[in-house]
Structure 1
Amino acid sequence: MCSNAPEGTALPTVFIDNPRTRVTEWRFKKRGDATGWHTHQYDYVVVPLFDGFLDIDLPDGTRTRAELKTGIPYFRETGVEHNVLNGNDFECAFIEVEFLTADPKGF
């Protein structure tokens, strides 16, 4: 799309994947490692496992920088489209929790 970063070089590890919730660790070994372009199909929460920065490529061609703090989560709604890149000179990771159903009983 509009990124010069390698596509899909971040390493996802799925820890939980059931009808209600998916929990994935995203690990970026080096600066510029990226998730690859994707659109979130579910509401989600991200919990950073580091203090530092992620660079976010957006569909309009802009790049923003997000500062993250270890253990301080943030929430996003369905429909977010982006490519997330490691903006640090060190390995970093975060946990992504996706809510696969709107209601705990699946209705």
Structure 2
Amino acid sequence: MTGRATSTVLIDNDRVRVTRWRFAPGAATGWHVHEYDYVIVPLTAGTLELVEPEGTRDSHLTVGAPYFREAGVEHDVVNTNDHDFTFIEIEMRQ
């Protein structure tokens, strides 16, 4: 790993938090647990490595193709590409 991904909160209110995540090659979020349901919208195409309690797997992402996950996900997300990677995370507060 070559560093930490950077996050910029774009919207933060009682209903939703929207964050832009930027990863240099090799950068990672660090281990974390999602407390809310969330949607990821990739702004870059490529592969991210997901380090999860069960093991490690690759996630292949396409620009503009969102995915949803429920609260409770535990992982570290690592950019394994040779280019910067960016996505938008939308957390739905309840």
- State TM-score, norm by structure 1: 0.84
5+ residue gaps, structure 2, are none
Bigger strand fraction: 2
State the match for 2:28 in structure 1.
34
- State the alpha-carbon separation in 2 of the partners of residues 83 and 29 from structure 1: 15
Deviation at 1:87, TM superposition (A): 1.4
**Which stretches of structure 1, 4 residues or more, deviate above 4 A after TM superposition?**
none
Question: Which residue identity does 1:10 align to in structure 2?
Answer: A
CA distance in 1, matches of 2:24, 2:35: 26
Aligned counterpart, 2:68: 75
Q: Distance in 2 between matches of 1:44 and 1:58?
A: 17
Map 1:87-106 to 2 at 5 A.
87-101=80-94
Number of residues of Structure 1 aligned to a counterpart in Structure 2: 94
Please list every run of 5 or more consecutive structure 1 residues that lacks an aligned counterpart in the other structure.
102-107
Provide, for residues 24-71 of structure 1, a one-character-per-residue CA deviation record: whole Å limited to 9, x for no partner. Answer: 0010022x20000000000000000011100000123x2100000000
Letter in 1 for 2:53: P
What is the TM-score when the length of structure 2 is the normalising length?
0.95
Instruction: Give the counterpart letter for 1:46 in structure 2.
Output: I
- Partner residue in 2 for 1:12: 7
- How far apart are the structure 2 equivalents of 1:77 and 1:97? 12
The 2-side partners of 1:59 and 1:83 are apart by 10
RMSD, aligned CA: 1.1
Q: Hey, what does 1:84 align to over in structure 2? A: 77
The corresponding residue for 1:105 is none
Structure 1 CA distance, aligned partners of 2:59 and 2:80? 9
- Aligned identity (percent) is 53
